[in-house]
Chains A and B, each alone.
Chain A
Amino acid sequence: MSALKVLIVDDSLIAVKKLTLMLEGMGHQVVGTAGTGAKAVDAYRTSNPDLVTMDITMPDMNGVEATARIIGEFPAARIIMVTSHGQERMVIDSLDAGAKGYVLKPVRVEKLSDMIDKVMARTT
């Protein structure tokens, strides 16, 4: 797989740094970060990423709503939820909003890499 441009949406500084390390270690390029759902929509418009990692619990607008907004504007957007929120209802809500995958925190590089491979295989 060629290098992907990735937007990280997460309000945790630690999570952003760890995801950046993992994604760059896989050869991808982090083209932007956003700490709220509202900023995620703007960041998507300006960075035009190949893939988004999206947290759920964030200030202002949660990740499910931000996913729905991004998909509403960019139907082909590839969004993977990366969150500790493990309730099945929330997984269903995220997929209904247009997310293509779901990875539970604590994130391990193998789990994230596998999910990216699956999403890219399904959508390209």
Chain B
Amino acid sequence: MTFNKTIIPRVMASILGQTREVLAAEAVIAVDGAETFDCDVTKLHLHDMTVIAGLGGPISLLIAFSFEASLVEALFIRVTADIEVPDGEEDLYRRETAGEIVNTILGLCTSDFQNIEESIALSPPVIIEDARCIHRPKNAVFANMRIRTERGIVSVSFVGPRELFDDHLNYQS
């Protein structure tokens, strides 16, 4: 296990910067600001739609982007503007939109870690739609960042070491 929690502030800064870039480029949505709650968080609250992906190698974190419904809707409308969404498949495309946005943000974040020799693997996004609260086990590290946009909030949670949890954030003892 290569997890080192001192990397979390760097990953946070990278995610904030790339979120700003991707939301502007893909959906013309501006980020208004962000608050961070670094490493002293004891529980995480997930909103209605959460996208979870893992950054591997020396970063070893699960990262959960939990979206307010208003932001998901705004992203869905902008991202699917030029493609056909079949009737009845709107919810599928909402989930796909959120997954693709998170995948793009995290992929671009890896370019902020060029000094790391080892490849930084990125796991495919997993989407969960049940709001829930996750308490921090003693041997885990939680941190949180709340990004405010003009269309709603996305809370980004950092959970490490990633080996302690499955891709749905269930604790694996």
A11 to B26, CA, bound (A): 18
CB distance from B132 to the nearest CB of A (A): 24
Whether A104 contacts B108 by the Cβ 8 Å rule is: yes
User: What residues on B are CB-neighbors of A12 within 8 Å?
Assistant: 96, 99-100, 103
Q: Which B119-136 residues have C-beta < 8 A from chain A? A: 119-124
| CB of B106 within 8 Å of the partner chain | yes
Whether B114 contacts A87 by the Cβ 8 Å rule is: yes
Question: Taking A14-B79, A57-B107, A106-B26 as contacts, is the C-beta distance between A89 and B100 under 8 angstroms?
Answer: no
CB distance from B143 to the nearest CB of A (A): 22
CB-contact partner of B110 in A17, A59, A86, under 8 A: A86
Query: Number of contacts between A and B (CB, 8 Å)?
Result: 73
Whether A14 contacts B97 by the Cβ 8 Å rule is: yes
A13 to B90, CA, bound (A): 12
Question: Taking A17-B83, A18-B83, A93-B119 as contacts, is the C-beta distance between A11 and B124 under 8 angstroms?
Answer: yes
CB distance from B6 to the nearest CB of A (A): 20
Whether A57 contacts B103 by the Cβ 8 Å rule is: yes
Q: Which among A12, A85, A90 has the greatest number of chain B C-beta atoms within 10 A?
A: A85
User: What residues on A are CB-neighbors of B42 within 8 Å?
Assistant: none
CB nearest to A86 among chain B residues: B111
Whether B104 contacts A106 by the Cβ 8 Å rule is: yes
Task: Determine chain B's interface SS by DSSP, over half rule.
Answer: helix
CB-contact partner of A87 in B25, B93, B113, under 8 A: B113
A96 to B79, CA, bound (A): 33
| CB of A88 within 8 Å of the partner chain | yes
A42 to B124, CA, bound (A): 21
Whether A87 contacts B120 by the Cβ 8 Å rule is: yes
| CB of A15 within 8 Å of the partner chain | yes
Whether B113 contacts A14 by the Cβ 8 Å rule is: no
Question: Taking A11-B124, A21-B82, A59-B124 as contacts, is the C-beta distance between A85 and B110 under 8 angstroms?
Answer: yes
